[in-house]
Amino acid sequence: MIIKNLLETNLFKGCNYENIKSIINENYINITKYKKNSIIVQEYEECVHISITIKGSLYINQLLENGDTLRIRLYKENDAFGCALFGSNNKNYPFSLISYEDTEIIHIPFNQINSLLIGDKIFMMNFIKMLSNNITSLKDKIKILSLKSIRDKLLYYLSKNTKNGITHMNHTKTEISKILGIARGSISRELKKMEQENIIQFIDKKTLKILTNNLNI
């Protein structure tokens, strides 16, 4: 049953059932259920496995110097975490990880990951791809942190969610405030200002157009 669940995730996409079954020991892999707002990982806790969200979603929180909390990333179904710490000398989590809703997670110990990387080339390529995607996500977060104004942060977020000239706000304003590290009320006010200044045009509550190419971000 666990292997079938694994094969439905992006990390095991394209892998052969029999080969995976011959490599891993299911007794060491477990599926854990978490209620909404449960602490999945405590900051500085040692990472001993790679985990995959198979149901629900979660986010990681980073404590800022001023005492505020910054939401780093929202993990959704099929997302994995712990990959970057797998090969690190320091395997302690630098953040806390919290369930956004009722969530189920598969935990795979590092020794099983070692066996998979050696014994299955498809898994190895999926693992490398996931690491690359995580680096891209980190690059986006560093970019957001480097931007000084609320408008620049907001325009950068909108530009990253734009396709074919249409921007889809895939998060609630509360979620966006956590992602960007700014107050929810400030987001609403800035969106209204940008609309009044003809920088953006709302199509509906969740969809808009960016009317300028000169974003300066």
For 87-103, write each residue's pLDDT tens digit: 889 999 988 899 989 99
> pLDDT digits over 99-119, tens only?
989 999 999 999 999 999 999
| Alpha carbons within 13 A on the beta-carbon side of 145 | 11
Residues of the chain with CATH 1.10.10.10: 150-210
Report which of residues 182 and 113 the model is more confident about: 113
Using the predicted structure, report yes or no on whether residue 64 has a pLDDT greater than 70: no
> pLDDT digits over 126-167, tens only?
999 988 887 777 677 778 878 889 999 999 889 888 888 889
Structural fold of domain 150-210: Arc Repressor Mutant, subunit A (1.10.10)
The SS3 of residue 125 is: helix
Per-residue pLDDT, 67:
67
Q: What is the 3-state secondary structure (H, E, C) of 60-111?
A: EEEECCCCCEEEEEEECCCCEECHHHHCCCCCECCCEEEECCCEEEEEEEHH
Structural fold of domain 2-146: Jelly Rolls (2.60.120)
Residues of the chain with CATH 2.60.120.10: 2-146
Distance between CA 78 and CA 60 in Å, rounded? 16
Q: Provide CB contacts within 8 A for 113, sequence distance 6+.
A: 49, 50, 86, 127
Per-residue pLDDT, 117:
96
What average pLDDT is seen over the chain? 87
Report which of residues 117 and 76 the model is more confident about: 117
Question: What distance lies between CA 113 and its chain's CA centroid?
Answer: 20
Nearest to 211 by CA among 196, 197, 195, 200: 200
Exposure class string for 4-18: b at 16+ Cβ within 10 A, else e: ebbeebebbeebeee
